[in-house]
Amino acid sequence: MGSQINRRPVRVASTSGAITDMVENLAELAKNADVDFIVGDWQSEYNITARGMIKAQRSESPNLDAAPAFEQQFVDSFRSALPDLAARKIKMAVNAGACDTELLYQRIQTIVEDSVTGLRVAWIEGDEVLDAVQQYVSEGTKLRNITTGQSFQEWGHSPVYAQCYLGSRGISQAFTNGADIVLYGRVADAAPTMGAAAYWHGWSSTQYQELAHALTAVHLIECSYYVTGGNYIGFKTIPQGKSPLLNLPIARIQSDGTFFIECHHSKDRGGQVSVNTCRYQLLYELQGKQYYNSDVVAIVDQVKMEQAGPDSVFVHNIGFEKPLPTTKVGLTVPGGYQAEVHYFIVGLDAEQKAMLLEK
So what's the pLDDT on residue 1? 42
Residue 320 three-state SS = strand
So what's the pLDDT on residue 108? 98
Q: How far is the CA of 236 from the CAs of 227, 267, 306, 347, 349, in angstroms?
A: 15, 20, 22, 13, 9
Comparing C-alpha atoms, which of 278, 285, 284 is closest to residue 315? 278
> Beta strand 297-299 with 248-253: parallel, antiparallel or unpaired?
unpaired
Domain that holds residue 321: 10-358
CA 41 – CA 277 distance, rounded (Å): 20
CA 167 – CA 186 distance, rounded (Å): 9
Q: Based on the number of CB atoms within 10 Å of its own CB, is 204 exposed (0-12), middle (13-18) or buried (19 or more)?
A: exposed
Ranges of residues in the chain whose predicted pLDDT is under 70: 1-6, 63-65
So what's the pLDDT on residue 310? 96
CB atoms within 10 A of CB 241: 15
Is 184 domain-assigned?
Answer: yes
Is 2 domain-assigned?
Answer: no
Can you give the length of the chain in residues? 359
Kindly report the average pLDDT of the chain as a whole number. 92
Is 1 domain-assigned?
Answer: no
CA 271 – CA 230 distance, rounded (Å): 8
Is 4 domain-assigned?
Answer: no
- The domain total for the chain is 1
Is 35 domain-assigned?
Answer: yes
Is 234 domain-assigned?
Answer: yes
Is 222 domain-assigned?
Answer: yes
So what's the pLDDT on residue 97? 94
So what's the pLDDT on residue 4? 59
Is 5 domain-assigned?
Answer: no
Integer-rounded Cα radius of gyration of the chain: 20
So what's the pLDDT on residue 298? 98
CA 22 – CA 264 distance, rounded (Å): 15
CA 295 – CA 300 distance, rounded (Å): 16
So what's the pLDDT on residue 169? 96
